[in-house]
Amino acid sequence: MARKYSIKWHKEELAKKVGQRSIAGKKGAEARVKNHYDYKKGYGNTIKNETKKPYPRYRSRVEYDFLKYVRLVFKWAQENYGLSRPRLELILFLYGTGAFSKKQFSDYHKTVGMYADKSMDQLVKEGWIVLWRPANRKEKIHSLYTLTQKAKIMCNKMHKYSAGINEVPMSSDHNVLVQNKEEKRINGYYLDAIKRMNKDKAPKE
């Protein structure tokens, strides 16, 4: 053993401390990895063990295919509700948001076009958006809005048509495309494609 306080002794003591720190660091890293794994796995036991996934369509070879017929679904919505594609996409975005502020509306509307306030006023006037909570300057509370029942029903239908859960109606009473079939040749092409889409439904549980 080296003489105390000699150069050799200092080197030995330094090596011991480095070794102790390495062992402590290794244990700490193992604990952090374990805690991280438990956190990701359980999230405080608030997540269900199994998450319900959308079923692929009948002839699909991939796990997710609910965008396969998205063009047909958008065409159905555009013709039956008189909305443009960008406005439909905006409403679909808001559908999953719940109550939203003007800023949230404006932030997404930037991807659609200019004049967010004018667009929002128009959607309110047409019955797609409604005031959910009025502003209160004294309490520093800003206004919140939400989609109307009409908008929510439309979005729900679009999701179920896209996922193959429900069929797009093919009667003239429930589908404007059928009513206007003879006006534009393209409408007939869309209806033929929708018929094929309805046959390619998702399997039942």
- Considering the segment(s) 70-199 as one domain, its CATH architecture is Orthogonal Bundle (1.10)
**Residue that has been written with the tokens 């094929």 in this structure:** 196
* Tokens standing for residue 70: 């998205």
Question: Is residue 127 a contact partner of residue 148, using CB atoms and an 8 Å limit?
Answer: yes
Q: Where are the domains of the chain?
A: 1-51, 70-199
Nearest CA among 95, 200, 105 for reference residue 156:
95
Mean pLDDT for each consecutive 10-residue tract of the chain (205 residues)?
A: 59 71 62 51 49 68 86 96 94 93 92 84 96 92 96 96 93 92 89 94 69
pTM of this prediction?
Answer: 0.69
* Tokens standing for residue 11: 């080197």
